[in-house]
């Protein structure tokens, strides 16, 4: 690859938008070319600086105001929005599964397996956002949550308290996702909810951390101590990464 071509693709490399082959070619060039390497560094220095601006904090009053307005506008809002969103989501997932059915049946690679699993946990997470009553146990104490799962699941999930790290535990429920009952733990960070799904890892799980983005939700999946973990939230990728790292470390202790 020539420098000119590489320079055109540096931005996309930096934003993780290149297909693997192109990415490999660009990275290989950058490793052997000081000019392009310096251009990439110039780009990379900017991201943490922009991040210093931080995100705006939504005024709590605004949230309340919008909910009031919507209720006023549409008396059936509470049910209407939830159920219409839910049915739209369910319909789209069904369409995806039917549309992708051929591929799913033909190929059973880790990637596809993870892909469909990810879609399902995203859908389960969205369902929980839409219906807050789904939280069966509201407790932030791992010594209450852990025994609560006994008898409800055929495995014992890890329950880790991350309150001191700024991720308080809201509670737990059992959810049927990806063909089996899973433990679902809900944590929170500011106004963002994080759901962690846990289930025994079968042979389709590879021993590596996978990050992906589905419908604007960040998903991180990993395997530890024989369990598969899937953390999902609309929280930004770096904070969710921090959360996953903490959970991973503390569940080993």
Q: How far is the CB of 233 from another protein (least distance, A)?
A: 12
Q: Of 220, 229, 219, 224, nearest to 207 (Cα)?
A: 224
Tokens encoding 182:
């899973």
Of 19, 45, 102, 208, the residue at the interface with another protein (CB under 8 A) is 45
State the Cα torsion 124-127-132-133 to the nearest 10°.
-80
Residue 89 found at the interface with another protein (CB under 8 A): yes
Of 62, 75, 102, 106, the residue at the interface with another protein (CB under 8 A) is 62
Tokens encoding 246:
């903490």
Q: How far is the CB of 176 from another protein (least distance, A)?
A: 21
Rounded CA-CA distance 13/117 in Å is 27
Q: How far is the CB of 99 from another protein (least distance, A)?
A: 12
Contacts 24+ apart (CB under 8 A), 44-50: 44/14, 47/14
The listed partner (Zn ion, another protein, none) that binds 92, CB under 5 to 8 Å by sort, is: another protein
Instruction: Please list every residue from 15 through 44 that binds Zn ion, using CB under 5 A.
Output: 33, 36
Residue 47 found at the interface with another protein (CB under 8 A): yes
Residue 129 found at the interface with another protein (CB under 8 A): yes
Residue 3 found at the interface with Zn ion (CB under 5 A): yes
**Quick one: 64 or 225, whose CB is closer to another protein?**
64
Q: Of 215, 208, 201, 63, nearest to 124 (Cα)?
A: 215
Residue 88 found at the interface with another protein (CB under 8 A): yes
Residue 226 found at the interface with another protein (CB under 8 A): no
Q: How far is the CB of 210 from another protein (least distance, A)?
A: 17
Q: Write phi, then psi, for 18 (nearest 5 degrees).
A: -95, 145
Cα-based angle 132, 135, 139 (whole degrees, multiple of 5): 120
- For binding to Zn ion (CB under 5 A), which residues are involved? 3, 33, 36
């Amino acid at each position: 690859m020539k420098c000119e071509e590489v320079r055109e693709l540096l931005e996309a490399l930096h934003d993780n938008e290149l297909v693997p082959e192109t990415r490999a070619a660009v990275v290989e060039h950058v490793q052997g070319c000081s000019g392009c390497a310096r251009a990439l560094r110039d780009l990379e220095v900017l991201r943490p600086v922009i991040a210093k601006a931080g995100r705006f904090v939504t005024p709590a009053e605004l949230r309340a105001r919008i909910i009031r307005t919507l209720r006023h506008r549409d008396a059936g809002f509470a049910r209407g929005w939830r159920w219409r969103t839910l049915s739209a989501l369910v319909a789209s997932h069904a369409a995806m599964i039917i549309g992708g059915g051929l591929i799913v049946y033909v190929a059973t690679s880790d990637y596809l397996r993870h892909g469909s699993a990810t879609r399902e946990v995203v859908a389960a997470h969205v369902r929980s956002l839409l219906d807050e009553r789904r939280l069966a146990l509201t407790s932030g104490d791992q010594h209450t949550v852990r025994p609560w799962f006994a008898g409800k699941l055929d495995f014992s999930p890890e329950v880790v308290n991350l309150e001191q790290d700024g991720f308080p535990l809201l509670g737990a429920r059992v959810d049927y996702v990806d063909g089996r009952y899973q433990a679902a733990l809900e944590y929170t960070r500011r106004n963002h909810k994080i759901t962690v799904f846990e289930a025994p890892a079968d042979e389709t799980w590879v021993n590596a951390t996978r990050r992906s983005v589905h419908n604007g939700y960040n998903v991180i999946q990993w395997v530890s101590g024989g369990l598969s973990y899937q953390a999902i939230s609309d929280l930004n990728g770096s904070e969710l990464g921090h959360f996953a790292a903490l959970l991973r470390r503390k569940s080993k202790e």
